[in-house]
Structure 1
Amino acid sequence: MNVTGLGEQNFTSDLIVWEGNFSRESNNIQTAYANLEKDREAVTQYLVSKGIPESQLVFNAVATNPQYQQNYSNDGRYMGQTFTGYQLNQSLVIESKEVEKVEKISREITELLNQGIAFYSQQPRYYYTDLESLKLEMIAKATEDARIRAERIAENSNASLGNLISANMGVFQITGQNSGEDYSWGGAFNTSSKNKTASITMKLVFEVD
């Protein structure tokens, strides 16, 4: 007898990862670096004032991008390009267990625009640090669910459930709660929702007497 059981568990993420970036442009690369450094200091001061420890602020290396203007003649012929200056970009990553605090700051970060800093914020990503324990709990639930299903089928067929021959685990899925998110053959792993649902299936094969 082949039966499949399902284990599900709702949980709330306990780790948030938030990224953002800011940039400066100038014809002079030294000027661009100096302005970007001022922005970095202002971003640091702002986030520390909001309660984020400076040790949690991870600034990545500055990316330098020369900027060019494409030139065309009046009749549409390409006339080459003209150097217009440099764009310097720096990104910031914050990883924290203070999910609500960082979540709130990510929504308020536009306050930096008032200081003349073009800070572009990405959507926070949410994780759960005890995922392995949760997975083991789901396996136990799915196995128990499958065993109960097998017992009911055997009962309805006037048969007796025999020994367990094999047990195979299905795909472990994490989706957003009440999101209507589709399951994936390779396993969905939602990072955009703070509140999530974990699920797993177990396929059991029993002897039937």
Structure 2
Amino acid sequence: MENNNILKSSVILGLSFIIGLIIVSYSLIQIKSFDNLLVVTGSSKQLVVSDIAKWNASFSRNAYDYNLNQGYSSMKSDEEIVRNFLKENGISEDEITITPVSMQKNYKYDSDYESPDQYTLTQDVIIESNDIEKISLISKNAQSVIEKGVIFSARAPEYYYSKLSDARIDLLPLAMEDARKRAESISGKKAGPLKSVSMGVVQVLQPNSVDISDYGMYDTSTVEKEIMITVRASFSLR
């Protein structure tokens, strides 16, 4: 009986030793594998020129509750002045969107609680065109609308690039090549097969800007833009 127990203990000890060797060998293989794997970030950029311009503006009137009809009539006249201004500056009808009148009741202070209710009537103007220069020029001439008595407020033009998806496809292999070169530069070894890759967000920036965001950036203030993409890639090293 005692001999059987000794035999069992010897077998268990032997199996434990073998299993331990297997685990150690596997760990060494894993360590060697990780030693030959490098994760790097690559990037590529392309300078483009915007092909869409947007210009947002609005005009408004204040009117009391007892003369709202007159307020709406004034808005109609203002809209005609705005449309004529746009057309005189080369904006076609299909490039113009003017929203219906919206009405907002103005806040009353305690001191004038008994005064009539006053409302602000507003219409938004949206211009979208592929003629970048035309939009840039007209946005600088809006003073002529104000001189005709229209309470006109305009924002700076916004510029967009419509072929962003095409640019992303063109930039992806360049970013991959940049990642491979970085891997070889860092390791001093030849980068082998690509093991994994993930693409970061697209950044549309002012030229030479470093103002990037983890969630992506789309600057609309300049006609020229710099598109940048990044990739995170892992390579085996030779």
TM-score band (shorter)? 0.7 to 0.9
Amino acid at match of 1:9: Q
Aligned match for 1:55, one of 71, 94, 107: 94
Paired residues, what number?
199
Determine if contact 2:180/2:191 at 8 Å carries over to the other structure. Answer: no
Alignment partner of 1:127 is 2:163: no
Query: Displacement of 1:82 after TM fit?
Result: 2.4
**Who is 1:189 aligned against?**
218
**Who is 2:29 aligned against?**
none
Query: Displacement of 1:150 after TM fit?
Result: 2.8
Task: Show structure 1 runs of 5+ residues with no match.
Answer: 73-78
Matched residue of 1:115: which SS?
Answer: coil
TM-score by length of 2: 0.77
**More displaced 10-residue stretch of structure 1: 36-45 or 132-141:** 132-141
Aligned match for 1:20, one of 52, 57, 60: 57
**Who is 1:9 aligned against?**
46
CA distance in 2 between partners of 1:80 and 1:181 (Å): 52
TM-score by length of 1: 0.87
Q: Cα deviation per residue 1:162-205 (whole Å; 9 max; x = unaligned)?
A: 21111111221111124x45211111111222221111111221
Determine if contact 1:32/1:86 at 8 Å carries over to the other structure. Answer: no
Alignment partner of 1:175 is 2:196: no
Amino acid at match of 1:164: L
CA distance in 2 between partners of 1:2 and 1:181 (Å): 23
CA distance in 1 between partners of 2:116 and 2:48 (Å): 53
**Who is 1:207 aligned against?**
236
Matched residue of 1:108: which SS?
Answer: coil
**Who is 1:46 aligned against?**
85
Determine if contact 1:69/1:81 at 8 Å carries over to the other structure. Answer: no
CA distance in 2 between partners of 1:117 and 1:181 (Å): 41
Determine if contact 2:42/2:232 at 8 Å carries over to the other structure. Answer: yes
Query: Displacement of 1:112 after TM fit?
Result: 0.8
Amino acid at match of 2:225: K
**More displaced 10-residue stretch of structure 1: 39-48 or 4-13:** 4-13
> Identity of paired residues, percent?
32
**More displaced 10-residue stretch of structure 1: 121-130 or 60-69:** 60-69
CA distance in 1 between partners of 2:118 and 2:185 (Å): 74
Determine if contact 1:66/1:85 at 8 Å carries over to the other structure. Answer: yes
Query: Displacement of 1:93 after TM fit?
Result: 0.3
Higher helix share: 2
CA distance in 2 between partners of 1:201 and 1:67 (Å): 49
CA distance in 2 between partners of 1:137 and 1:144 (Å): 12
CA distance in 2 between partners of 1:80 and 1:119 (Å): 29
Higher strand share: 1
Task: Show structure 2 runs of 5+ residues with no match.
Answer: 1-37
Distance 1:67 1:163, change over 3 A: closer
Distance 1:46 1:207, change over 3 A: same
CA distance in 2 between partners of 1:181 and 1:104 (Å): 29
